[in-house]
Structure 1
Amino acid sequence: MLTAWMALTWGGIALAADEEAYFSDFPVVASVSRLPQRLADAPAAVTVIDQSTIRASGARSLNDVFRLVPGFQTYPHSTEPARVSYHGLSDEDYSPRVQVLIDGRSMYSPLFGSGVNWATLPVALEDIERIEVVRGTNSVSYGSNAFLGVINIITVDPSLTRGFSVSASHGSQNVRDYGLRVGGRIGDVGDFRFTYRQQNDDALANRGDWIDDFQSRLFDFRADVAIDDRNALQLNAGRAEAVTGVGRLNQLTGTGKPDNPIRGLHQSDTYAQLIWRHVVSPSADFQLRYAYVVDRANDAFNFVFPTVPPQTFYINQSGDEGVRHELEFQNNVQFASVGRLSWGGSWRDDSMRSAWVLPAQGTVHRETARVFGNWEAKPASWLTTNMGLAGENDSMAGFLWSPRLSANFHLGAENTFRLGYSRAHRTGSIYDYRADYRLTVKSGGMTVYDRYPYSADRNLQPESMDTWELGYLGNWRNWRASLDVRLFHEKVTDRLYTIDRNANNNLVPGLTTPIQDVVIRGIEYQFKWQPLEQTRLALTQSFAKIDSDYLASALSYPNGTLSRPEDYRNIEDLTERSMPRRATSLLWMQSLPYGIQFSLAGYWQDKMKWSSNSWSAKYRRFDGRLAYPFRLGGVSAELAYVVQSINGAHSEYKTFDGSGSDPGGFGRIVDRRQWISLRLDF
């Protein structure tokens, strides 16, 4: 049991289901309280996505997978980075309110706005064992970036990937993907896995004033070594690279705009992580984890302004470098009669340097120290309680407390109700606290050009959120069905937003500041059913309403983003429609004769706003996959055909009104994409 507990806690092989557990392949989750728990005992709603579901979805990019999770929104990368958000509030480019973990390592980046850059996410889809998605705040366990939710990606144990595997995908829109995976033994003490993955496509159809393309490469290595029966080491290391097209065209000349030319945004993520796990006793264990990550970006160009004489400016808006060092200790203890405890602490140093965003500041450091604890107790067979508390001291944001309290009421083995409360905080990025830049061109003593001036607020206060939720989990094993319902009320206080104060060229720099109090309320559910041995269905829906009220301080700025009543409404829409009021997903997985696997995914989403100047129109989308596994001598193989957006072109990110029309031709249109994949396992 201890070995199984350790495996779940540290991302190894899932526990087998007992007779009372949820029927899913992974009935036990460890992402909520850092304790392995049955779904019925967890203090938050969790969606588990296994490898078979990922394959069946037909996803080629990881962010696409989260269309299957109720309350989540995503769109594909284009000239803007792909985003994944939960319950909206998604105006920042890299969606910093959802924490993403890979084998315990945070994908939070000080360079990319304290969020996640999905273009350089260092994991291949085929290396994912499962994803545990915590739907709701989990700052208690993972800090301020877990403000709205957590995505915990757990990769396959290297002992299960021995041998040699190659894969290739070719299709429309210049899809050209190649993969290589090698796994083997390390003497008599461990196993390793090495993965190389390359992707290329022309992304969305080029329209209007932009050109879209994408290419990426991934090198990923993991080794697990057992030192003795009480100590084990896990090493992860690798690098992910991506180039995306950015910039704008002058439609009259067909050339790039001088102040934003067509160019490549080069991005990379280099990482190393070492985890030491130690069994203290049959009822206690601990782990010590160190992670080192370097993110880099470069989209530099020279801007020549036609004064007399011409003036040349070097601009690198996305550069240059973000570095993270993180050290974390975690101890799990089981007490004979009073419950289980997971506690620990962490320290991290985030640093960023950028000649454009942080001019003359050199390398800016930010230190954060955390302590956390989660306690599970079962005072009666019908009751499970969870209590959590975390304290976080941030060198830029100050000290913050995050508590959580929940109670799960078990009405027999098949029905559980959950009532919970939690408080969370989200701090701004290094950019929000320290950025100070502008591009000012003067001629003859007069300012003739002023580009987006910004000056950070070093005393910026964090957002906070109070969440109440009522949950229900039904597990009807005789019917091979389960239902997970979450009723939520989330109140965000002092929601942060970057406002422009430079209207009418008054040379007042913009800043990030609290502008609103926001209430998000609604209901979401996921229903899984296996009516026949060869048939699996998964249905999700979310219904939500967001309301907001401006803070008096936000309306005191006389120019820029909030200068007129129509501007107030525009930002209100960006907040209140940042989540579709209704969204549905349905995944049908069917095993056919001769081992053929068929799946069809459907998505229906109301209109919403990702950006202040455009809408994402209401749409529906269908993706399909047909796969045939076979053998060639001693080689296992699979041939698959995937079609995305079977029903044709639609917008998922930008149109310029909510109806779906795009009179200027500047939207982002997702059209039908199809490809054939072949995988050989030696």
Structure 2
Amino acid sequence: MITKAGNLPYVSLAIVLTGVSMGGNAWAADEDAYFSELPIVASVSRLPQRLADAPAAVTVVDRDMIKASGARDLNDIFRLVPGFQTYPNNTESARATYHGMGDGDYSSRVQVLIDGRSMYSPLFGGGVNWATLPVALEDIERIEVVRGTNAVSYGSNAFLGVINIVTVDPALTRGFSVSSSYGNQNVRDYGFRVGGKIGEVGDFRFTYKQLNDDGLTDRYDWIDSYFSRLFDFRADVVLSERDSLQLSMGRADGIIQNGRNKLVGGLWQQNPENPMRQMRQSDSYAQVIWRRVFSADSDFQFRYSYVVDRSDDAFTFSNLHINQSGDEGVRHEIEVQHSLKIDKAVRMVWGGGWREDAMRSEWSLPGMGEVNRSIGRVFGNLEWRPAHWFTGNAGLALEDDSLAGMHVSPRVSSNFHLTPENTLRLGYSRAYHTGSTVDYRGQQRAFGVSFFSARPDLMATEGLDTLEAGYLGDWRDWRASLDVRVFSERIRNRLYKIDMDTTNPLVGLSTVPIQSVEIQGVEYQFKWQPFDTTRLVFTQTLANLSSDYLSSALALNNSTLTTTKAVQIRELTERSMPARSTSALLIQKLPLGLEFSTAGYWQESMKWSTNTTAQRYRRFDVRLGYPFRSGSLAGEIALTVQSLNGAHNEYKAPNPDDTNPNPDGRIVERRQWVSLRLDF
């Protein structure tokens, strides 16, 4: 029988409190039988593991949580995951960061995967463009979020964590479904999905989804709107008793607004140096995954993916063609892995991958044509269970980057199963994060002035050493669980763009190592289902960031670090993560078949960039749905309200001077819409 990675046994997440068992049960005679109902995750070591055996903290967001959250945008979902921060799509690219450090336009330190395919793009600063992720929320089976570095399994982009999005099996999407949403702020969403059989050997799923809104309220110097369109196809085919094939392809397009007006003689006018214009972006992909099952304890997987990202927000000024977001990034990736059981107590997975990134941009890489970057890596993870009370994990990866050189990432962890309800985890890992292609090769110049000059001679690789302790527990009698992670993350050679010589306009910004950073804190997630009709999820993170400048950075003559800018950079680093953030989700089934859910978010102030302060806020979202069925017709009608408690700021705080006619603040106001889905 063929086992698909997307169909691993899954049950709702269950994890820990501090060492005191709420259930009070005695040690079960057969611990495998007891733990068999815990969630199985594969995103940490690439081996299917019980949460109690995994070498890192994992949050699983299932389909019910996704629907109950009321999210329209994928990045919104991560408000429910401890340690994550995000903000609504607006004139700036949306981001989802873990433990801060999201200083670029596109977050580049958390790996994002969709069915194993990396969403990192050479075009978008080596980061993730959330406006063009080719997946519809309705097609997500679950999201496994590894909270903490996982470079051992997924490379340098998994520096601080991994978001692994697993889409629904096409066999579960038979028939035809249409959906629509209509609300204020010009919310106009449409979609349909069709699924069926491919003869007697497989199943397919095709999805079309379109999102549209007017975004945040337009201000004096900017306008906001968002449009995206998605086509996505997946087919799963059984080739033989041992072989299966998964084929997928799709395209996502996104349009947001760029540019600013300026105040001239008391009137707002078009700024010719940065005019109002559309930024058009797209992601096109194709992927094939072949799996062969050798036995119940051994299988092999081959994966190839091809991705093309494009972006364009071109305009002309003084006969100069400017296209800062363009033009194209292409990625080819091949990956193989083999998992096997060596003996009764030892399992392992090993493999390797190669990818070729190509980028073309007349703005960032002028006159260079296509700039290529090759990255090869080998990895291995081993699980050792010599006794019922202990699970050990060890992993090692070697990555060779044609621009950044070679790096080794190790990880070790020990899981002590104190009782059937309680597991203690201790672990250490080391990871590396490299700069983008532009960081190593970019040269941006205009009007005789340098905007950016790559300095490979000064570039270093960010290093991360993580020590963590975790506690996992599952109190079956109380139908409750809690996951606690205590962490210390030390980042060496934090990379940042600084002005290398304030006296020379030909030098410009360069990406160089400037800081060492330490992130310490605790985060936890509590789940409780007191009744069959009631479900509660509560998360909280408490953290502190501190930083010191490197002596080599302070020695750079005439750089911005020798000015007051150094104070701003330190403030940005140390406030890039809120000191405290909390979320709560309540899912409640009501009489008459109604389904109610509400989500609350509380976050202390933070900074996304030097000029973008997010004020302390609280936000409440609600959703009321009515699923129905009449003969062969089924569906749901629902009302969703975001920011029910009113307007607040999540990204760029308004100017505190109320007399200033240009606040330039991003105010998140109440948004509500009615949605209807019909299944035939």
For normalisation by structure 2, the TM-score amounts to 0.94
Per-residue deviation, 1:12: 2.2
For 1:116, the equivalent position in structure 2 comes to 128
Selected match of 1:181 from 185, 189, 193? 193
Name the counterpart of 2:498: 499
Hey, what's the Cα distance between the residues in 1 that align with 2:500 and 2:644? 44
Give unmatched runs, 5+ long, in structure 1. Answer: 305-311, 442-449
Equivalent of 1:301 in 292, 312, 315: 315
Q: Which residue of 1 aligns with 2:250?
A: 238
| Alignment match, 1:279 | 293
SS of the residue aligned with 1:40?
coil
**Deviation of 1:661 (Å):** 11
Are residue 39 (structure 1) and residue 38 (structure 2) matched? no
Contact residue 31 and residue 132 of structure 1 kept, 8 A: yes
- CA separation of 1:572 and 1:130: change in aligned 2, threshold 3 A: same
Distance 1:655 1:505, change over 3 A: farther
Provide the rounded CA distance (Å) in 2 between the counterparts of 1:38 and 1:660: 54
Give the aligned partner of residue 635 of structure 2. 637
Structure 1 window deviating more from structure 2 (629-638 vs 32-41): it is 629-638
The letter for the 1-side match of 2:303 is R
- Correspondence list, 1:581-600, <5 A: 581-600=579-598
Q: Which amino acid aligns with 1:326?
A: E
- Give the equivalent residue in structure 1 for 2:34: 20
The answer as to whether partners of 1:543 and 1:582 remain within 8 angstroms in 2 is yes
Which residue of 225, 240, 262 corresponds with 1:228? 240
Deviations 1:185-241 (A, max 9, x none): 000000000000001001111113111111010000000000011000000101000
Counterpart-to-counterpart distance in 2, 1:132 and 1:487:
19
2:90 equivalent in structure 1: 78
Change (3 A) 1:660 1:51: farther
Q: Deviations over 1:255-303 (max 9, x none)?
A: 3211111100100000000000001223211000000000000000001
Which amino acid in structure 2 is aligned with residue 607 of structure 1?
S
Contact residue 221 and residue 662 of structure 2 kept, 8 A: no
Which residue of 399, 405, 417 corresponds with 1:410?
A: 417
2:142 matches 1:142: no
Q: Deviations over 1:70-125 (max 9, x none)?
A: 00000112111000000001101111000000000000100001110000000000
Shift of 1:625: 0.2
Q: Is the 8 A contact 2:450 2:508 kept in 1?
A: no
Pairs within 5 Å for 1:92-491: 92-252=104-264, 253-304=267-318, 312-441=319-448, 450=449, 452-457=451-456, 460-491=459-490
- Given that residues 23 and 480 in structure 1 are in contact (C-alpha distance below 8 angstroms), is that contact kept between their aligned partners in structure 2? no
1:555 Cα shift? 2.0
Q: Are residues 476 and 617 of structure 1, via their aligned partners in 2, closer, same or farther at CA, if it must alter by over 3 Å?
A: same
Whether the 8 Å CA contact 2:538–2:584 is kept in 1: the answer is yes
Q: Secondary structure at the match of 1:34?
A: coil
Asked whether the equivalents of residues 236 and 273 of structure 1 are also in contact (C-alpha less than 8 Å), the reply is: yes
Q: CA deviation at 1:458?
A: 5.6
Instruction: State the number of aligned residues.
Output: 659
Q: Which amino acid aligns with 1:100?
A: V
**Could you say which residue in structure 1 is the equivalent of 2:561?**
562
Segments of structure 2 that go 5 or more residues without pairing to the other structure are 13-31
**How far did 1:16 drift?**
5.8
Supply the distance in 2 between the matched residues of 1:486 and 1:648 (Cα, whole angstroms). Answer: 33
Alpha carbons 1:615, 1:658 under 8 Å: kept:
no
Aligned 8 A contact 2:345 2:385 in 1: yes
The answer for the alignment partner of 1:308 in structure 2 is none
The SS at the match of 1:287 is strand
CA-to-aligned-CA distance 1:526-558 (integer Å, 9 cap, x gap): 000001110000000000000000012222334
- The CA RMSD measured in Å over matched residues stands at 1.8
Secondary structure of the residue that 1:342 maps to in structure 2?
Answer: strand
Q: Is the 8 A contact 1:643 1:672 kept in 2?
A: yes
Are the aligned partners of 2:149 and 2:158 in contact in 1 as well (CA < 8 Å)? Answer: yes
1:23 Cα deviation from its structure 2 partner: 6.5
Contact 2:458 2:512 in 1 (8 A): no
CA distance in 1, matches of 2:491, 2:173: 44
SS in structure 1 at match of 2:570: helix
8 Å CA contact 1:198–1:217 kept in 2: the answer is yes
Task: Tell me the secondary structure at the aligned position of residue 124 of structure 2.
Answer: coil
- TM-fit CA distance, 1:657: 7.1
Q: Is the 8 A contact 1:617 1:660 kept in 2?
A: no
TM-score in terms of structure 1 length: 0.94
Aligned match for 1:611, one of 609, 612, 632 = 609
The verdict on how the C-alpha distance between 1:582 and 1:657 changes in structure 2, with shifts beyond 3 A counting, is farther
Structure 1 pair 490–583 and aligned structure 2 pair: CA distance change class (3 A): same
Q: After TM superposition, give the deviation of residue 168 of structure 1 in Å.
A: 0.1
In 1: Cα distance, 2:656 partner to 2:460 partner: 34
- 560 and 612 in structure 1: CA distance in 2 versus 1, 3 angstrom threshold: farther
CA distance in 2, matches of 1:205, 1:72: 25
Report deviation, 1:568.
Answer: 1.7
Q: 1:417 to 1:67 in 2, by over 3 A?
A: same
Paired with 2:80 and 2:446, the residues of 1 have a C-alpha distance of 43
Which residue identity lines up with residue 414 of structure 1 in the other structure?
E
3-state SS of paired residue (1:265): strand
Q: Which moved more, 1:148-157 or 1:337-346?
A: 337-346
On the 8 A contact 1:636/1:680 being kept in 2, the answer is yes
Q: Residue 184 of structure 1 aligns to which amino acid in structure 2? A: G
Q: Equivalents in 2 of 1:353, 1:556: separation in Å?
A: 34
Q: Which has the higher contact order (CA 8 A, sep 6+)?
A: 2
- Contact 2:90–2:216 under 8 Å retained in 1: yes
> What is the alpha-carbon distance in structure 1 between the residues aligned to residue 10 and residue 140 of structure 2?
16
Residue by residue over 1:495-540, the C-alpha shift from the partner in whole angstroms, topping out at 9 and shown as x without a partner, is 0001124646643221000000000000000000001110000000
Asked if the contact 1:474/1:484 (under 8 Å) is kept, the reply is yes
Of 668, 676, 679 in structure 2, the residue corresponding to residue 678 of structure 1 is 676
Q: Secondary structure, in 3 states, of the residue corresponding to 1:411? A: strand
Code of the residue aligned with 1:292 in structure 2: it is: Y
Distance (Å, rounded) in 1 between the aligned partners of 2:345 and 2:657 = 57
CA distance in 1, matches of 2:457, 2:187: 45
Picking from 619, 622, 632, the partner of 1:621 is 619
CA contact (8 A) 1:582 1:606 kept: yes
Paired residue secondary structure (1:110): coil
Aligned mates of 1:53, 1:616 — CA distance in 2: 26
Query: Is 1:514 aligned to residue 521 of structure 2?
Result: no
Instruction: Note if contact 1:643-1:674 (Cα within 8 Å) is conserved in structure 2.
Output: yes
Q: Secondary structure at the match of 1:56?
A: helix
Per-residue deviation at 1:19? Answer: 5.2
AA partner of residue 33 (structure 1): S
1:399 partner letter: M
Greater shift in the superposed pair: 328-337 or 401-410: 328-337
Aligned-partner SS, 1:416: strand
Q: Provide closer, same or farther for how the CA distance between residues 52 and 198 of structure 1 changes in structure 2, counting only shifts above 3 A.
A: same
User: How far apart, in 1, do the equivalents of 2:35 and 2:215 lie?
Assistant: 42
How big is the shift at 1:660?
12
Provide the rounded CA distance (Å) in 2 between the counterparts of 1:369 and 1:660: 54
Is the CA contact (8 Å cut-off) linking 1:69 and 1:540 kept in structure 2? yes
Structure 2: distance between partners of 1:228 and 1:491: 49
CA contact (8 A) 1:433 1:458 kept: no
- SS of residue paired to 2:272: coil
